[in-house]
Amino acid sequence: MKPAFFAILICLLSFSCKKTETDNGAIDTETIARKLFDTLRNGDFERSESLMPDKGTYRKILKEWKNIDAEEQQYDLLLSSAEKNFTAVQNMVADWQNTKYSNVHTDLGKEGILQIAKATTKFDLDGQFYKYSFTICKYNGRWFYLGDAMPVAKES
């Protein structure tokens, strides 16, 4: 009787402790940078949306960051501009499948009670290095991508 009870208890605990993929954002800056790079390499904008805050979280972020009461249209605007920015970064190189993630440089700052960072990701394609930058925000212990990825011009 006891072994069966413990087996059931262990099964229940293991299922309840599993992390779901529905959690938006990432736990740290390196993870969010790598995940965004992977979505770019795979051309998967829908997956990059999972790195952005949901509508309710976005409204709370704007309230605490810029003291703005966000309206419904602002979240839709975030998503549409994020898709345009995603495409702009995608157009940096023709062959994303052969790119390799190099590193991310993060400039951390604090605005009000929120941590805001400008991240610049560097990646390699056949010995040529490229960069793109984006803004991330830490809210409730998670980093969120704010949809503003932009190519960084190569230095001459």
Q: Which helix (H) or strand (E) covers residue 48, if one does?
A: helix 45-49
Could you read off the pLDDT of 34-50 as tens digits, one per residue? Answer: 999 999 999 999 999 99
At 54 the pLDDT is: 94
Could you read off the pLDDT of 115-156 as tens digits, one per residue? Answer: 999 999 999 999 999 999 999 999 999 999 999 999 998 875
Domains of the chain, CATH where assigned:
23-152 (3.10.450)
At 10 the pLDDT is: 62
Q: What is the largest CA-CA distance in the chain?
A: 74
69 by Cβ neighbours in 10 Å (0-12 / 13-18 / 19+) ranks as exposed
Could you read off the pLDDT of 61-88 as tens digits, one per residue? Answer: 988 888 777 777 889 999 999 999 999 9
Residues with Cβ within 8 Å of 94's Cβ and at least 6 positions away in sequence, in order, are none
- Helix 55-66 × helix 72-90 angle, to 10°: 100
At 66 the pLDDT is: 80
Kindly report the pTM of this predicted structure.
0.81
Across residues 89-111, what is the average pLDDT?
Answer: 94
Task: Enter the DSSP assignment of 128.
Answer: E
In 3D, which of 2, 5, 14, 151 has the Cα closest to residue 84?
151
Task: Enter the DSSP assignment of 152.
Answer: E
Could you read off the pLDDT of 3-34 as tens digits, one per residue? Answer: 655 556 565 555 544 444 447 889 999 999 99
At 47 the pLDDT is: 95
Cα dihedral 137/61/150/120 (nearest 10): -10
